[in-house]
Amino acid sequence: MELLMASAIGVLTAAGVYLVLRLRTFPVIIGTSLLSYAVNVFLFASGRLVVNQPPILRDGVESYTDPLPQALVLTAIVISFGMTAVAVMVALAAYLSSNDDHVDDQPAGLGPSIRGDSDRGDG
Amino acid sequence: MSLFLIVALPFLGALLPGLLIQAGRQTCASATFMVTLAALIGLATHIPAVVDGQTITARAIWLPALGLNVNLFLDGLGLFFACLILGIGLLIIAYARAYLSERDNMGEFYSYLLLFQGAMVGIVLSDNILMLLVFWELTSLSSFLLIGYWKHLPEGRQGARMALTVTGMGGLAMIGGMLLLGQIAGSYDLTTILQNREAIQASPLYLPALILILLGCFTKSAQFPFHFWLPHAMAAPTPVSAYLHSATMVKAGIFLMARMWPVLAGTDAWFLIVTTAGLVTMVVAAIIALFKDDLKALLAFSTVSHLGLITMLLGIGTPYAAMAAVFHILNHATFKAALFMSAGIIDHEAGTRDIKRLGGLRKLMPVTFVIATLASLSMAGIPFFNGFLSKEMMLEEASHTVLFDSAWLVPVLATIGALFSAAYSFRYLGHTFLGAERDDYPSHPHDPGIGMWWPPAFLVALVMLIGVAPFLAEPTVRLVTQAVLGGAAEMPDAHLKIWHGFTPALYMSIIAVLGGLVLLALFRPLDKGWQTAGPPYAKAMFDGVIGGAVSVARFVTGRLHDGALTRYALIFTVTVVAVAYHAWATGAKSPPTHDLIPLGPMQLAGWLMLVIATGFLVYCHRNRLLALVLMGVIGLMVSIGFAYLSAPDLALTQLSVEVVTIILMLLALNFLPKQTPVESSWSRRIRDGVIALGAGTGAAALIYSILVRDFATTPISEYHLENSYAGGGGTNVVNVILVDFRGFDTFGEIIVLGIAALIIYAITEALLIGPTRARLAARKPDEPLAGDAHPLLMVVVTRVTMPVMLMVGIYIFLRGHNEPGGGFIAGLVVAIALVVQYMASGFAWADERQRYPYHTIIGAGVLVAGVTGIGSWFAGYPFLTSAFGYFRIPPFEEFELATAMGFDLGVFLAVVGAVMLSLESFSRLARRARKDRSEHAMDIDPSREERAEAGRGG
């Protein structure tokens, strides 16, 4: 199970990094979302993997999983929603005001509209 | 009065002018005057003790570990300077009241002036050199504000910037020097340092420390080659020039050299550097001053020249020279401040301070004429004026100073300096006041009101008094000299008097005065030659250096920060992976200890779904809608994983966040291109793939090696598990941690969430005005709109389920303290319930029924959480301490009430508000843009032109 968890985090990280290195805003946002999954799960897993021992106190139960990483990750999940929303909004505002969703600064001389329209042309 | 209060008074008083300006200019000026007067009187109470030879101290421990303590002390030298600063400050405040015009913001001016005054008093009273450095930098900053006071003048801004650059750099050097000095002496207390002369001068660090400290002094006191900033600082209002650039700030460097004289002086290095710098400055500045047509520029260079003179005297290092230096500081402060004020009067009344446009003002401005005459004769070094006395002492000392093995170098140069000094003094007098009356003055010159001329008149009276009866100043000069020497040298057996007999100094003085008159007679041809020769202009060099630095910085920044964000991300990732790999490869690893969880088919199936979805997402990320669907799958698998691995709270949170995230991304995708074009080459994709694999492998290896080992130490959460019920009153430990143990953390996080939502709202608002609005309105949907935008079935179902969903939300909220749930999850669930209504019935329908703006809900949430936290103060506990109790209302079972629930309610409200405000903003973008009402008289759609261009281009 530990191996599955580790490899899943690895796969999410790799996919996230690859997408973050893309040239358009939308894949980059998807990439950061994947990275937040990876990071949240990573933090959670640092409390070690435990099955059937939720941190809900019960009479007669002695061992519980580590609740602290869970509490940290819980807020992290909600905050990452806020972060994603802001990133999406910034990307959207940039696209709407310049008709260009490139991540990198574009060299001068290329009109934004030509590139903007070509978005729909090829795939 | 305590020394602390004397230093603090100007700083505290600096608040007054800004406030009192509302009550009128006279009140404002009077308040400033009274503050300074109070500090001066407080200082005066210590005079008898200091004259008795005592040293007044005031000490307070601040940061003893750093050697930084608020230690102040007052001896003869400090008293002398503090009296100069506060006394001349009083005159300047009175003068500025008359000088500043109606358009100038007087409150601002006096506030800056008092700040500066406080910083200067701080310098001269500091016993701790670190404190001294703080005050030193404060003078640089406050003088920047004062020089640039006339913000509308480019010269003012440039002059202020130049002054700050030069003195600021000197200040930096001085910090280094002072730290070295403190290291050598083993203490940052000045009194201790002053007693360690031998140890300091024997140290190998003496020379670096000396050079660095002198850099600070020379830049501040405008010594060659750093003299150029002072004339440019003359763009300031004249009261500032008179105060900062004659009497006080430029004297700070001199003060420090005098203060450090007992420890630093007396070595060859000190003698060579300080004497040479002073001598060169004195001569060069005097020559330049003669050829300046601007009255204030002439005075500025003459100030530089006189500062050079004082520096040279301190450099020579004999007790007699030190005494002459002290005397000249006093004399220069009196006559130069008076001269600056008279220049200000001329500028004020005649409308110009260009000498070539003046002349013949003698009859028109008789009072000013008398003041200026007396002060400039003192500057020229004419007997019976105080300038003569200290200049005689300087020439006397110069006549037997040997520099660079030459007995005549110093005497000759000193005479030349004095000669030019006499010449520009005569020019100031002759070319402004004497000669024929003209009829082309820019305005009608006449004497100002008494408010403007009594301050310089008072100073001139002092000039005369000391000049005629030097024995009156002798006790002061001897007291201060004693403090400068600090026991490092014997007090000279010399007295201040007018007639010393037929000494070399007398002949040099006669040569200087006569030569000055000759020079003035020959001024016209000399001036022509000077203007054609055109000596190097320091400002151009300074601007060149600054320009060069800027272009280097721009080049480096341009190369590093070229706007290619993907490149930054690439460099960042590679660096992190490389550093982590280094740590991994070189670090020691303990053997695995943790028991592994056995693998079953269900886990494998879940893993497979996650990995396949991720792989597929990367493979077809260009189809953006599909990518979102796959992201949903991944999120779902992550939540199932949380549920399986004993984290029910996380599973619930992840699930509900997933829903709102996907809805949000869909809303955004509505406006974005639906496809990502193929742009990157294969090689680039392979490169990124390799980097991504490296990062992924690293993350996997790291977490795996954590997972197979046990905790190195007992986790903090042991405490949480033990105290959750006993101390927090809840059995859901995760929730208790969130609302109780780490409540402050959560409080911060809901604020962050609220801010994020407000940012989104603000950007939306910005997009909905301006050109984007027109583009949005003209935009045609990529997909045809559905025929039934609001399907009946969906509307009915959502109406029916809404109460149920809200009930679920409330239930999750209420049970949160003891079972999985809580404010975060409940907030998300309720937000989903609301979003569903928007989706089913459209934005307008739902928005009409939404009575409370979401901003208010966010604010209410933060407020409720904060007030709950503050509530614990009333019970005498720290912020956010929770209390709980068990209650029973028949016929219900016993139930628990905890204050943490109030806090959780705040979390709940903030989450609902933030999520809804974000989603609402996105949909408003689509909604509002379609409104028919035009917000601008001329609504031009920029995308129309772009389409036409694209049509031609494509």
Q: What is the pLDDT of residues B430-465, one digit of tens each?
A: 777 777 777 777 777 777 777 778 888 888 888 888
d(CA B572, CA B548): 30
A94 contacts in chain B (CB < 8 Å) = none
Q: How many CB atoms sit inside 10 A of residue B891's CB? A: 5
Distance from CA of B704 to the nearest CA of A (A): 5
Select from B573, B647, B704 the Cβ nearest to the Cβ of A6.
B704
Residue in the structure block whose two tokens are 């990502």 = B676
DSSP string, A67-82: HHHHHHHHHHHHHHHH
DSSP B272-341: HHHHHHHHHHHHHHHHHHHT--BHHHHHHHHHHHHHHHHHHHHHH--HHHHHHHHHHHHHHHHHHHHHHH
Q: What is the DSSP string of B521-542?
A: HTHHHHHHHHHHH-PPPHHHHH
d(CA A115, CA A100): 7
Which domain covers residue A39, as residue numbers?
2-52+63-121
Verify whether the Cβ–Cβ distance B954 to A86 is below 8 Å: no
Confidence (pLDDT) at B653: 93
Q: Name the percent of chain B lying above pLDDT 90.
A: 17
The per-residue pLDDT for A122 is: 37
Give me the percent of chain A exceeding a pLDDT of 70. Answer: 86
What is the SS3 assignment for B759-811?
A: HHHHHHHHHHCCHHHHHHHHCCCCCCCCCCCCCHHHHHHHHHHHHHHHHHHHH
CA distances from B496 to B476, B554, B730 (A): 11, 58, 87
Instruction: Give the C-alpha distances (Å, rounded to integers) separating B880 from B93, B209, B726, B727, B730.
Output: 52, 52, 17, 13, 15
For residue B633, give how far its alpha carbon lies from the nearest alpha carbon of chain A (Å): 12
Q: In the prediction, which pLDDT does B929 show?
A: 57
Is the confidence at residue B954, as pLDDT, over 60?
A: no
CB within 8 Å: B720 and A50: no
Q: What own/partner pairs with CB < 8 Å and gap ≥ 24 does B518-524 have? A: B519/B290, B519/B419, B519/B420, B519/B423, B520/B423, B520/B426, B520/B427, B520/B430, B523/B290, B523/B427
Dihedral sign, CA of B33, B36, B41, B44? negative
Query: pLDDT tens for residues B287-334?
Result: 888 888 888 888 888 888 888 888 888 888 788 888 888 888 888 888
CA angle, residues B142, B145, B147, in degrees to nearest 5: 105
Nearest of B721, B745, B716 to residue B732 by alpha carbon = B721
Q: Which of B617, B647, B818 sits opposite A54 (nearest CB)?
A: B647
The alpha-carbon gap from B589 to the nearest alpha carbon of chain A, in Å, equals: 17
Residue A112 has pLDDT above 70, yes or no: no
User: Taking CB atoms and an 8 Å cutoff, what residues of chain A touch B713?
Assistant: none
* Residue B816 CB contacts under 8 Å (≥ 6 apart), including other chains: B732, B735, B822, B823, B825, B826, B904
Q: Tell me the shortest Cα–Cα distance from B680 to chain A, in angstroms.
A: 8
Closest B-chain CA to A57: B731
The arithmetic mean of pLDDT across residues B661-688, rounded, is 88
Collect all residues of chain B within an 8 Å Cβ-Cβ radius of residue A54: 646-648, 820
Tell me what pLDDT residue B248 has. 79
Name B57's bridge partners.
Answer: B73
DSSP 8-class letter at B497: -
Cα angle for residues B769, B770, B776 (degrees, 5° grid): 80
Give, for B244, the enclosing helix (H) or strand (E): none
pLDDT digits (tens, 9 = 90+) for B694-728: 999 999 999 999 998 888 888 888 888 888 888 77
In chain A, the number of structural domains is: 1
Partners of B534 in beta bridges: none
- A53 and B771 within 8 Å at the Cβ level: the answer is no
Question: Do residues B244 and B117 make contact, with C-beta atoms less than 8 angstroms apart?
Answer: no
Dist CA B43 CA B74 (whole Å): 9
Which residue in A has a C-alpha nearest to residue B756's C-alpha? A82
Residue of B nearest to A114 (CA): B950
Task: Choose, out of A25, A58, A79, A92, the residue to mutate when testing the contact with B (most B CBs < 10 Å).
Answer: A92
B864 to chain A, minimum CA–CA distance in Å?
A: 18
Report whether B673 contacts A97 (CB < 8 A). no
| Radius of gyration of chain A measured on its C-alpha atoms | 20
Going by C-alpha positions, the residue among B895, B749, B893, B890 that lies closest to residue B817 is B895
pLDDT the model gives residue B941: 56
State the average pLDDT over residues B785-806.
Answer: 85
List CB contacts (< 8 A) between B775 and chain A.
Answer: 96, 99
Average pLDDT over residues B882-891: 74
Please check the confidence at residue A116 and state whether its pLDDT lies above 60.
no
Nearest to B599 among A1, A52, A95 (CB): A1
Instruction: List Cβ neighbours of A88 (8 Å cut-off, separation of 6 or more).
Output: A29, B664, B665, B668
Give the per-residue pLDDT at B809: 93
**Minimum distance, in Å, between the CA of residue B663 and any CA atom of chain A:** 11
Q: Which residues contact B374 (CB under 8 A, 6 or more apart)?
A: B338, B385, B460, B463, B464
Contact at CB, B953 and A4, closer than 8 angstroms:
no
Q: Which residue has the tokens 């000249």?
A: B328
Q: A118: pLDDT confidence band, cut at 50, 70 and 90?
A: very low
Give mean pLDDT, residues B534-560: 82
* pLDDT band with cut points at 50, 70 and 90 for residue B747: very high
Tell me if B414 sits within 8 A of B508, measured CB to CB.
yes
In three-state secondary structure terms, B24 is: coil
For range B357-370, the mean pLDDT: 78
List the end-to-end C-alpha distance of chain B, in Å, as a whole number.
Answer: 83
Q: Which run of H or E residues covers position B897? A: strand B895-898
Cβ pair B311, B278 in contact under 8 A? yes
Distance from C-alpha of B49 to C-alpha of B904, rounded to nearest angstrom: 65
Q: Which residue has the higher pLDDT, B406 or B612?
A: B612
- CB atoms A14 and B692 under 8 Å: yes
Q: Contact, B311 vs B298, CB < 8 A?
A: no
* DSSP structure class, residue B710: -
Backbone angles phi, psi at B61, to 5 degrees: -75, 135
State residue B53's pLDDT score: 78
Given a cut of 70, is residue B872 above it in pLDDT?
yes
What pLDDT score does B639 carry?
A: 94
> For residue B7, with 0-12 CB atoms within 10 Å meaning exposed, 13-18 middle and 19 or more buried, which class applies?
buried
Q: pLDDT class for B951, splitting at 50, 70, 90?
A: low
Chain A residues within 8 A of B954 when measuring between CB atoms: 114, 117-118, 121
Q: Which of B574, B646, B731, B943 to mutate to test the interface with A (most CBs of A within 10 A)?
A: B646
Segment B398-407 shows an average pLDDT of: 73
- ipTM, two decimals, is 0.88
pLDDT tens digits along B817-839: 888 888 999 999 999 999 888 88
Cα–chain-centroid distance for residue A117?
28
Q: Does residue B388 contact residue B375 with C-beta atoms inside 8 Å?
A: no
Asked, for residue A57, whether it belongs to a domain, the answer is no
Q: Is the pLDDT of residue B655 over 60?
A: yes
Query: In this predicted structure, what is the pLDDT of residue B943?
Result: 59
Q: Which of A52, A77, A79, A90 would you mutate first to test chain B, the one with the most B CBs within 10 A?
A: A77
Contact B193, B129 (CB under 8 A): yes
pLDDT of A114: 38
How many beta-carbon pairs under 8 angstroms link A with B? 349
Asked whether residue B657 carries a pLDDT value surpassing 90, the answer given is yes
Q: CA dist B630 to A30, B89, B615, B634, Å? A: 10, 74, 10, 6
Q: Do A84 and B661 touch (CB under 8 A)?
A: yes
Distance CA B319, CA B328 (A): 14
Element (H, E) at B11: helix B3-13
Give yes or no for residue B125 having a pLDDT over 80.
Answer: yes
Residues in chain B within 8 Å Cβ distance of A80: 657
Q: Minimal CA–CA distance to B460: which of B620, B335, B610?
A: B335
Q: Strand, helix or coil at B151?
A: coil
Q: What is the mean pLDDT of chain B?
A: 83
Average pLDDT over residues B111-133: 89
pLDDT in tens, B23-64: 888 888 888 888 889 888 888 888 888 888 788 888 888 887
Residue A34, in any domain of the structure:
yes
Q: What residues in A contact B698, CB-CB < 8 Å?
A: 13
pLDDT, tens digit, 9 for 90 and up, residues A27-84: 999 999 999 999 999 999 998 888 888 888 888 888 888 899 999 999 999 999 999 9
CA distances from B761 to A90, B107, B192, B917 (A): 11, 39, 61, 7
pLDDT in tens, B62-73: 887 777 888 888
Q: Which of B618, B666, B749, B769 to mutate to test the interface with A (most CBs of A within 10 A)?
A: B618
Question: Which CATH number characterizes residue A89's domain?
Answer: 1.10.287
Q: Would residue A58 count as lying in a domain?
A: no
Helix residue spans in B561-681 (DSSP H): 565-586, 601-619, 624-644, 648-669
Report which DSSP code applies to B247.
I
Could you give the CA distance from residue B213 to residue B174 in angstroms, rounded to a whole number?
5
User: Which chain B residues contact residue A100 at CB under 8 A?
Assistant: none
B722: chain A residues, CB-CB within 8 Å: none
> Is residue B654 pLDDT above 50, yes or no?
yes
Residues of A in contact with B710 (CB under 8 A): 48
Task: Flag if A6 and B701 touch (Cβ within 8 Å).
Answer: yes
Q: Side chain identity at B787, as an amino acid letter?
A: G
CA-wise closest residue to B314 among B394, B247, B205, B392? B394
Lowest mean pLDDT among B281-285, B652-656, B660-664: B281-285
Question: Is A37–B634 a contact, with Cβ atoms under 8 angstroms apart?
Answer: yes
| Residue B63 φ then ψ, to 5° | -125, 75
Tokens representing A25?
Answer: 């805003």
A-chain CB neighbours of B711 within 8 Å are 48
Asked if B852 and B912 count as a contact pair (C-beta separation under 8 A), the reply is no
Contact list, B689 vs chain A (CB under 8 Å): 18
pLDDT band of residue B611 (cuts 50, 70, 90) is very high
Query: What is the average per-residue pLDDT within B903-930?
Result: 86
The percent of residues above 90 in pLDDT, for chain A, comes to 50
Residue of B603, B596, B598, B599 whose CA lies nearest to B710: B596
B916, pLDDT greater than 60: yes
pLDDT bucket at B947, cuts 50 / 70 / 90:
low
pLDDT score recorded for residue B911: 94
Say how many C-beta atoms besides its own lie within 10 A of residue B516's C-beta: 23
Q: Which two tokens stand for residue A13?
A: 């990280």
